[in-house]
Structure 1
């Protein structure tokens, strides 16, 4: 049996976990802030504190969240001070799709308000953006791309009409499209790419509002390309996980380029995502299925520095749904299994602690069960959320909270 780790130090003065995490991440170009479940309040507030700390220097240029860009765009305009919404709660009202509570919640609204206040004290070119990176809102992205080309596209509007015509028979059902696209003749991949080419070819604007509108349209058109590929792969039984990971990595790359261009110096991007995306695949069971992660993709191929932080908890409550497209509800998070990574962290002591990895004790180098809760939770089978992982190499650091509570959804 592995020896127990040295007791972890609780938060005390200068040993504050958030400050330690900020210092550890300060040199990174991309900072991945994870979460063990999409519905835990403390995971949002911890990520907000760390993001705000990193935003104190000029390198932090954008926050990218695991949401569809179509739903985040309105909040981006609000935090930049270029949108008409009177409050963060209103700016977040475009989050209507499942899982609505994941981003339309009080915790994110409070962060958005503070980010806007920070931005309004800065020149427009130095303001921090807020973007989404997911692939699920295929038809919403198509609508955004078409709307942009109606105003700015001229002759390129034909590409938008062709894309709309290709997807139209499926009545805005991604399942129907994915099923049909298993036959190559039914694929809309070429039409989606033509839409993206048309939006990209539209001349860029100079002022902030018009520039953001153009970038929003390019992101939407890219999301049509990525969403089409994802749903086609998902219903063909292919590696749709990897398609989604590469699409999200592509969004982060484009946000970094957009921010660097506006600021004329390299930008730092902070990403809010699930632990399963922030982890190294080789340290989890994802590698057994040939799957990769955002952390791996963003580290690959250049000198970019990436810092990944996992967030774990021992017990409390969280929000999830009993099935896909069902309303969110509060579930009880039972105390973590004794032999799990969370169980080990809990026994090591400290209600809220930061553990730097690697270099931890041998106990954390063992492969142990670890909870990874998505948007859906089966209360009758709580053990199903455990997967084996090697904590010592999984992240650069892990922030642990002994007890947590569910997010507070907005009306």
Structure 2
């Protein structure tokens, strides 16, 4: 069905029905159209279906700054602009700022307990989260300050570089695992259930997850990817409980929100967030929404930590889902997967499906950027945008320490 206005999302809202979690993807981290339609669908879920929080593929400390701004403490503009680690364009962009301005306005009309939150699900912010736990302990749990400092001093020996830490643990038996486990146990036991206490516990969970993640990353294989997505699923569970069982939206790449069992990721031993949420919550309680495009422009880096630039997205390869929809579908269309017994065969036919990360080389697009996918099993709905344009970043990439993502192609 054509997709031109917000009202054209009505069939998807009907499909969502009483689902508790809606996971909304993107085929790249640098495309304006994906962000704009994802934001519009999220607005409708908040207004019409009482969704109370958004969990995104971002770091907890940065997103906690946005959460505080959109729920009444600070400026959404300043909170979004303040993203300072590469790739800043992924969150410090006009599209996210516009949504956060809207969310602040929506929340201002509501009592505090009904305001919609904005939270990071990811595992990368080892150092920032560790510093946040230290600050919280010094102010609220002084008797646990020494426990936190033991973990902090352990990581300081590696120069604030989590990759250096991971590499060192491949060569020597010493790790920071015991110090991190002790810190996490203390926060779980003693931090109260208010918002500040929850944020402190979550930062401790991030440190524990990151410590394990960077050790796994140096071993190679699917373990680091799986640890990251399990961490995101666990964080979503914690957020759901913290918000009193409220409904939640997730924003993440298609490779995270589309069910991995319907892709060749499964054969590689990988799971992902969409699969885990379906397994934990039940398929009827979860709706997975993917995106795709045939051609256009995107913002990305040529390599990790490289300056972001607007690049062409070439026409999709001939054997791909994108090529099929370019030939057969309107320029903008919404597909809501019918029941298996009534739907066209393409929903259940494995096909190549493009995925662009924050690192991208258009010249190698056809050889590196496709995941074999069974569309009707991977997604419950799919937004097709034949030609798309790049995100609009708020600022350039500042120099600084970075914590790189993993396979496939920095997603």
Change (3 A) 1:23 1:200: same
Aligned residue runs from structure 1 range 282-361, under 5 A: 282-303=261-282, 305-358=285-338, 359=340, 360-361=343-344
Equivalent residues in 2 for 1:66-105 (5 A)? 66-81=57-72, 83-85=73-75, 88-105=76-93
Deviation string, structure 1 residues 287-331 (Cα, Å, up to 9, x no partner): 111111111111224547111000111111111110011121111
Consecutive unaligned residues of structure 2, counting only runs of 5 or more, are 396-411
Deviations along 1:200-219, whole A, 9 cap, x unmatched? 333426xxxxx322222111
- C-alpha distance in structure 1 between counterparts of 2:216 and 2:170, whole Å: 8
- Within the alignment, does 1:33 sit opposite 2:17 as a pair? no
Distance 1:237 1:340 in 2: 29
Work out the CA distance in 2 between the residues paired with 1:159 and 1:346: 57
**Rounded Cα–Cα distance in structure 2 between residues aligned with 1:376 and 1:12:** 30
Aligned partner of 1:382 in structure 2 is 365
Q: How far, CA to CA, are the matches of 1:283 and 1:322 in structure 2?
A: 29
Residue 57 of structure 1, CA deviation:
4.2
**Runs of 5+ unmatched residues, structure 1:** 1-8, 206-210, 261-265
Counterpart-to-counterpart distance in 2, 1:20 and 1:329: 36
Aligned pair in 2 of structure 1 residues 236, 338: CA closer, same or farther (>3 Å)? Answer: closer
Cα offsets for 1:216-267 (capped at 9, x unmatched): 211111100011111010012251111111001011011101001xxxxx31
Residue 199 of structure 2 corresponds to which residue in structure 1?
216
User: Which TM-score applies when normalising by structure 1?
Assistant: 0.91
Partner of 1:130, secondary structure, is strand
The answer as to whether partners of 1:38 and 1:102 remain within 8 angstroms in 2 is: yes
Pick one of 140, 148, 151 that aligns with 2:136: 148
Cα RMSD between the aligned structures?
A: 1.7
Instruction: Output the CA distance in 1 between the equivalents of 2:101 and 2:93.
Output: 13
Question: Which of the residues 227, 247, 259 maps onto 2:231?
Answer: 247
Instruction: Count how many residue pairs are aligned between Structure 1 and Structure 2.
Output: 389
Cα distance in 2, alignment partners of residues 302 and 314 from structure 1: 33
Q: Give the conservation status (yes or no) of the 8 Å contact 2:302–2:360.
A: yes
Larger mean Cα displacement after TM superposition, 358-367 or 153-162: 358-367
Change (3 A) 1:126 1:34: same
Distance in 2 (alpha carbons) for counterparts of 1:179 and 1:256: 35
| CA–CA distance in structure 2, aligned partners of residues 195 and 158 of structure 1 | 9
Normalising by structure 2, we get a TM-score of 0.91
Match status 1:371 vs 2:354: yes
CA contact (8 A) 1:26 1:54 kept: no
> Is the contact made by 1:21 and 1:50 (CA closer than 8 Å) also made in structure 2?
no
Matched, 1:50 2:50: no
Question: Does structure 2 retain, via aligned residues, the 8 Å contact 1:25–1:307?
Answer: yes
Rate the CA distance shift 1:12–1:406 in 2: closer, same or farther, 3 A: closer
| Whole-Å separation in 1 of the counterparts to 2:350 and 2:365 | 20
Distance 1:403 1:12, change over 3 A: closer
- CA deviations 1:147-189 (Å, max 9, x no partner) are 1101011211111111011111100111110011235732212
Partner of 2:54: 63
CA distance in 2, matches of 1:188, 1:25: 43
Name the counterpart of 2:403: none
Match of 1:140, SS? helix
CA contact (8 A) 1:341 1:364 kept: no
Q: Quick check: 1:18–1:46 contact (8 Å CA) kept in 2? A: no
- Determine the structure 1 residue equivalent to 2:147: 159
Q: After TM superposition, give the deviation of residue 94 of structure 1 in Å.
A: 3.3
Displacement of 1:18 after TM fit? 2.2
| Alpha carbons of structure 1 residues 354 and 181: separation in structure 2 relative to 1, 3 Å | same
